[in-house]
Structure 1
């Protein structure tokens, strides 16, 4: 089972603990090299300054790395889909296909509120239409017109496509029925929310069922955020927050991998020493443990139930 690791930056600037990870890009460039070399495959860009800043940071991060996938946090409604499609396709092309989108929902602005009721369902309907347009702009071979509930496009076309004509990989999450329906239609990676093994298993099943309605059940991959805390802060531990020495952390993740989770989004490893330890010890130990356990399994399907039983017994 191939496992990937994604670095989720926090706020760790030594001069200002509230400053974001990308505050000083000279310093960040050194961390990016370390993150790439130590075993992470992806890094999330989610700056509090918003989408346009995220796009700028993503461009610089892609330029400074050679294999790291940059996961760009993105919202519908900030810029028009035709503009976003062109800019994202250009970034993806320049990086050789190393850009992906992490789509979040957010409330509609005041202008939207004047013409339609604002609510959870409406927000996700806009995300749905936005993604439909992005995918169409990334794949069409001639201009098209579109008139929808949220967007109007005339002669929509992106002349310079990215290396993947079908578009960028889309990451989404959520627990509501509407969020799951939109994710089931569009997401390549479903980002889970922390919880117990049973809660996560149930959410995975709901997401698969939503994807199955669009013939995509087998195309959905799952990513789980995991916050790594030092043993000193163990008293503040919350759901799926892991503490302890590297071997213990790696073993704690095995039951989640057994559920079918193929990606761990690691939070709380921002200092160079923590990044090195996570890559050299946690990532390597988890991969080695998975390889050994799969080699010991006598028949397909025995790995997941056995590991989960062991975790519950422990």
Structure 2
């Protein structure tokens, strides 16, 4: 691994590939890849709104090494739920990461709808909780103040989990929600163990994520910045006895030229082998998942799946090896890797 990091800090040498790939094979880490479509406002052609094109893309994503796809459409929460159900219906193994937030739908209604989607998909649903609605059309659902936003999310998630686990109706009176006879008769296969994803950088956001998140979506940054955020998240989770239960995901944009705008992500430039090496520098921190953004056309999806994902996944899968512990390496920031907005 030191040779890999050294190669990155010095810049790319194509003759170095053959000597580095064997070392990649020594690092069998369970890396997953998630596809993040561009939002409607950022995309020339909306990802989910052309039935035939979407079917083609979903097939390429499912066959190209991606395990999950994020549903995060600017049309709003209810549209997200409809799109998630459609994607799950059109695929057989792809998991859907559904972007969701508190304040639009009452917890009892949301719990029933989410359980229904999870049940119909055979347990392929993941809930991605964000702090605020996606656009100003939902402004009336926003509580005043950052702390209040996260307090409401906390209560909302507590109620969802309770609704997914209780075998009898219950009442609840809280700061944001009042429930009488709350009950979900038909639970999803995951029940209250439905995977929750969260993010954020403030102390308030990390406190709530430390209590509820199974996967934490990191903000893009240098290797040192990402490591520091991971340490903060683990510290917040440790307060709830969950430090060892968290997994980490990092948004990444893979490209060979000028990076596109849109989702904030770590930019990884260069040919496939170089991109794979750049990702390994982050994987060494203990990151379990790369969220690939800016790959929207069928050609782009097929290329990334066939080249970068295949190279990284096949190399790491050759052997079983322990994941290097965070802080084991202190690499210089690669020239080809940078945080981008």
Q: TM-score, normalised by structure 1?
A: 0.89
Of residues 270, 284, 296, the one that matches 2:310 is 284
Pair 303,284 (structure 1): closer, same or farther in 2 beyond 3 Å: farther
Do the aligned partners of 1:74 and 1:102 also contact (CA within 8 Å) in 2?
Answer: yes
SS of residue in 2 equivalent to 1:279: helix
Specify which of 32, 46, 49 is matched with residue 4 of structure 1.
Answer: 32
* Aligned CA distance change for structure 1 residues 175 and 61 (closer, same or farther; 3 Å): same
How far is 1:25 from its partner? Answer: 2.4
Rounded Cα–Cα distance in structure 2 between residues aligned with 1:313 and 1:166: 43
Determine the C-alpha separation between the residues in 2 that align with 1:112 and 1:277: 40
> CA RMSD of the aligned region, Å?
2.7
Could you say which structure has the greater relative contact order, defined with CA pairs below 8 angstroms and 6 or more residues apart? 2
How far 1:304 sits from its partner (Å)? Answer: 7.2
Query: In structure 2, how many angstroms separate the alpha carbons of the residues matched to 1:286 and 1:255?
Result: 12
Equivalents in 2 of 1:302, 1:142: separation in Å?
A: 44
Gaps of 5+ in 1: none
Q: 1: distance between equivalents of 2:274 and 2:234?
A: 30
Whole-angstrom CA distance in 1 between matches of 2:271 and 2:202: 36
In structure 2, the CA distance between the partners of 1:191 and 1:301, relative to structure 1 (3 Å rule), is closer
Change (3 A) 1:56 1:268: same
Flag the 1:204–1:300 CA change in 2: closer, same or farther, 3 A: closer
SS of the aligned residue for 1:21 comes to coil
Q: 1:148 to 1:24 in 2, by over 3 A?
A: same
* Distance in 2 between residues matched to 1:239 and 1:80, nearest whole Å: 32
| Gap change, CA 1:204 and 1:304, over 3 Å in 2 | closer
| Structure 1 residue 291 displacement after superposition | 4.7
More moved, 275-284 vs 215-224: 275-284
Give the structure 1 partner of residue 184 of structure 2. 158
Confirm or deny that 1:87 pairs with 2:107. no
How far does residue 42 in structure 1 lie from its aligned partner after superposition?
Answer: 0.1
Whether the 8 Å CA contact 1:71–1:100 is kept in 2: the answer is: yes
**What residue ranges of structure 2 are gaps of 5+ in the alignment?**
1-28, 337-341
